[in-house]
């Protein structure tokens, strides 16, 4: 009795298997990749250039893309009747935690800081990028070239999954760099019959890399810091090469900076960039070869223009919010003689023919010489343009050198 039961079960199983084969040959069905799922791996290394958008909920549409090339072969279940044709349909599955949907794009979490939305190219007759996830999107090619009954079906070149775009969503603001480990963002399935898909994806897309938010500091007071040196006669510079002008004192100023996206433990240094004086490279050119301005750090060491080895470390606070810190340092500035001579009269500077030629300036005064500009004025009645000229306003710019 037991032996008969076993034989009956075997016959029944054979009958079910035979019926399944007959059904597959009578209808369309899923497509299966030859040799398993084709893997596309994209590397993403992008920078958020607008740091003001490093805020929760900020989106960056089409932030990056991939175009990887690579092909694979597939075969699809089709009926034996060669007069029957059907479209090829696609389904994209995103195996990540859903975050939000914004303007038809679905964002999924990558790590604690970022989420991404993706689209993928559906080629063929459609030739469009479709936002993921989706199901039963056809490529508008009604044919049988992928059918398993065709000997040439394995010669058909498939590229689905090889091209797409990424959009970025900020979950939590971050400083510096957000690392993306190798992460699957999509499985792409194919079929010849709506909603009937196999268990093996035709292709899978992975991304890895990093998203970087630039780090930087700017003066809290704005882009310009005024340093009033005071007023001096030309004779105050005579015979004082390399020395502070007579009756001048050092102007000391504490600089306050607002810093963005500075990671813990990062040190920040201030250095000076600008046009050095032709006669003394330690001094900043002021538009006259006989004078210059010297900037010292808090330790009294001269901050030589354009010398990266000479800098001043800033004192940096802890985070005041998710992305910002404050930083500060103290500098001193003073005018010096670079030649020991009476400063030369500015070329082509002529009194304008009024009793107080207050507009006497060297040529090109409107052209700024960052980080410092000398503005000239005339404050006596003498017709000579320079003999009693005074220096009234030196401007120090941060020059974006932090």
CATH of the domain at 357: 2.60.40.1090
pLDDT band at 25; cut points 50, 70, 90: low
Long-range CB contacts for residues 282-286, cutoff 8 Å, separation at least 24:
283/336, 283/338, 284/371, 284/372, 285/369, 285/372, 286/335, 286/369, 286/372, 286/373, 286/374, 286/394
Distance of alpha carbon 216 from alpha carbon 228, whole angstroms: 27
Residue 121 shares a structural domain with residue 135: yes
State which of 177, 212, 247 marks the end of a domain.
Answer: 212
Residue 208 shares a structural domain with residue 222: no
User: Is the residue at 363 inside a domain?
Assistant: yes
State which of 172, 196, 212 marks the end of a domain.
Answer: 212
Residue-wise over 267-293: b if at least 16 C-beta within 10 A, else e?
A: ebebbbbbbbbebbebbbbbbbbbbbb
Residue 252 shares a structural domain with residue 282: yes
**Which residues on neighbouring strands pair with residue 207, listed in sequence order?**
42, 183
Residue 228 shares a structural domain with residue 174: no
User: Is the residue at 21 inside a domain?
Assistant: no
User: Is the residue at 8 inside a domain?
Assistant: no
| Number of CB atoms found within 10 A of residue 215's CB | 17
Q: What is the pLDDT of residue 375?
A: 28
| Number of CB atoms found within 10 A of residue 156's CB | 17
pLDDT band at 67; cut points 50, 70, 90: very high
User: Is the residue at 150 inside a domain?
Assistant: yes
373: CB partners within 8 A, 6+ apart: 286, 287, 365, 394, 395, 397
pLDDT per residue as tens digits for the range 334-376 = 999 999 998 876 554 444 443 333 443 433 333 233 333 322 2
Residue 189 shares a structural domain with residue 226: no
Residue 43 shares a structural domain with residue 90: yes
pLDDT band at 65; cut points 50, 70, 90: very high
Residue 187 shares a structural domain with residue 88: yes
Cα–Cα nearest to 242, from 337, 119, 122: 337
79 pLDDT more than 90: yes
pLDDT band at 223; cut points 50, 70, 90: low
Cα–Cα nearest to 33, from 199, 223, 228, 168: 199
Number of domains making up the chain: 2
Mean pLDDT across the chain, nearest whole number?
A: 78
User: Is the residue at 18 inside a domain?
Assistant: no
User: Is the residue at 402 inside a domain?
Assistant: no
138 by DSSP, 3-state: which? strand
Q: Are 64 and 166 in contact (CB under 8 A)?
A: yes
Distance of alpha carbon 237 from alpha carbon 241, whole angstroms: 8
State which of 182, 212, 242 marks the end of a domain.
Answer: 212
**What CATH number is attached to the domain comprising 166?**
2.60.40.1410
Residue 206 shares a structural domain with residue 223: no
Residue 206 shares a structural domain with residue 336: no
Q: Which of 3-17, 98-112, 291-305 has the lowest mean pLDDT?
A: 3-17
Q: Are 273 and 315 in contact (CB under 8 A)?
A: no
Residue 208 shares a structural domain with residue 220: no
Cα–Cα nearest to 40, from 182, 203, 167, 156: 203
Residue 186 shares a structural domain with residue 280: no
User: Is the residue at 116 inside a domain?
Assistant: yes
Distance of alpha carbon 223 from alpha carbon 225, whole angstroms: 7
User: Is the residue at 72 inside a domain?
Assistant: yes
Residue 80 shares a structural domain with residue 203: yes
For 19, 44, 126, 137, 189, the CA distances from 199, given in Å and listed in that order, are: 21, 29, 25, 18, 8
Residue with the bigger pLDDT between 75 and 92: it is 92
For residue 317, what are the domain limits? 216-397
């Amino acid at each position: 009795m037991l032996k008969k039961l076993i034989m009956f079960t075997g016959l029944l199983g054979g009958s079910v298997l035979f019926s399944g084969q007959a059904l597959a040959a009578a209808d369309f069905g899923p497509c299966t990749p030859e040799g398993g799922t084709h893997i596309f791996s994209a590397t993403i290394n992008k920078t958020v250039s607008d740091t003001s958008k490093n805020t929760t909920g900020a989106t960056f549409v089409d932030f990056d893309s991939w175009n990887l090339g690579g092909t694979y072969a597939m075969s699809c279940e089709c009926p034996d009747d060669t007069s029957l044709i059907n479209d090829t349909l696609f389904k994209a599955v995103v195996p990540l935690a859903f975050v939000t949907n914004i303007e038809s794009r679905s964002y999924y979490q990558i790590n604690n800081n970022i989420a991404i939305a993706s689209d993928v190219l559906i080629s063929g007759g459609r030739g469009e990028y479709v936002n993921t996830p989706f199901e039963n999107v056809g490529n508008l090619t009604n044919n049988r070239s992928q059918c398993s009954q065709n000997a040439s079906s394995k010669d058909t070149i498939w590229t689905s999954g090889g091209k797409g775009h990424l959009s970025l969503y900020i979950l939590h603001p971050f400083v510096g760099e957000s690392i993306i480990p190798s992460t699957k963002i999509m499985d792409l399935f194919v079929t010849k019959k709506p909603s009937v898909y196999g268990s093996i994806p035709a292709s899978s897309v992975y991304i890895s890399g990093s998203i970087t938010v630039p780090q930087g500091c700017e003066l809290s007071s704005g882009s310009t810091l005024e340093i009033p040196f005071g007023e001096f006669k030309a004779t105050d510079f005579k015979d004082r090469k390399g020395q502070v002008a007579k009756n001048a004192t050092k102007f000391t100023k504490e600089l306050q900076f607002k810093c963005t996206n500075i990671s813990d433990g990062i040190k920040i240094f201030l250095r000076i960039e600008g046009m050095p004086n032709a006669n003394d490279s330690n001094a900043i050119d002021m538009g006259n070869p006989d004078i210059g301005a010297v900037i010292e750090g808090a330790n009294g060491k001269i901050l030589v223009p354009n010398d990266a080895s000479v800098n001043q470390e800033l004192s940096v606070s802890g985070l005041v919010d998710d992305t910002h810190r404050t930083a500060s340092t103290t500098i001193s500035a003073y005018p010096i003689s670079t030649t020991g001579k009476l400063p030369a009269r500015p070329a082509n500077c002529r009194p304008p023919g009024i009793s107080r030629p207050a507009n006497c300036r060297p040529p090109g005064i409107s052209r700024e010489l960052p980080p410092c500009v000398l503005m000239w004025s005339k404050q006596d009645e003498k017709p000579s343009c320079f003999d009693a000229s005074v220096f009234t306003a030196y401007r120090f710019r941060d020059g974006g050198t932090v």
